[in-house]
Amino acid sequence: MNNNYNGGSQTITVTPTGFSITARTGSAPTNGAPLAYPAVYLGCHYGNCSPSSTLPVQIGGISSATSSISYTYPGDAGDIYDASYDIWMDPTPKTTGVNQQELMIWFTEQGGVQPISYSYDGKGNAIPIATITIDAVNWNVYRGNNGANNVVSYVAVDTIDTLTDLDLLDFIDDVMIRTADFQEPVTDAWYLTSVQAGFEPWSGGVGLTVNSFDATVN
């Protein structure tokens, strides 16, 4: 999906296994929403559901959830973006509209963009609430709300471009811990509605590529 929603224009070239950003105009302040979220996904996004998807599915009924991805970052120092998974959960089997809980997994960021957080230091840097290890990768963990939904973000301490069979259930289980004190915490009774992977550009981004993506939920 192109998913250009916050100004400027964007063109993507779709391949059998992913996509590339081939044109991008506009810019957005880094203390606000990105220009877009071009992505590939399993599940449902605003009423558009991927073929043969079993999502939405109740979290308690999931025995395994894995995903593999390969990214290419073009290396333009002026680009501002993150490369991330966007995983959505809701108390109902929602196929359209905004879900109540967003789980983000950042593989890299460039240009000083920060995850959504309840706490920032004097320089505007988000303050992590924990650092954990999942699939032999160290992730800084952040909690926040973007005005529409709660967000728990996992930001890789070191840049990653490829992961194979990433265990998404480990992240979902951790989200349950991180939201335990929320008014509506994520539980096994909630539904996983989509697993998305792509980029959030604030400026530039031509050449950003998802070479391959796969997600399986059983």
Residue-range domains of the chain with CATH: 10-217 (2.60.120.180)
For residue 146, pLDDT beyond 90: yes
pTM of the model: 0.97
Helix count (H) and strand count (E) of the chain? Answer: 1, 14
Helices (H), 50-204: 168-178
Residue 114 has pLDDT above 80, yes or no: yes
Nearest to residue 208, comparing CAs of 74, 18, 106, 86? 74
pLDDT recorded at residue 75 = 77
200 labelled catalytic: yes
Residue 76: pLDDT band by 50, 70, 90 thresholds? confident
**Catalytic residue among 79, 102, 109, 174, which?**
102
d(CA 7, CA 27): 8
Rounded Cα distance between 75 and 68, Å, is 22
Catalytic residue among 140, 200, 208, 213: 200
Is residue 56 scored above 90 in pLDDT?
yes
Whether the per-residue pLDDT at 58 is higher than 90: the answer is yes
Residues 6+ apart with CB under 8 A from 166: 66, 67, 68, 69, 105, 134, 135
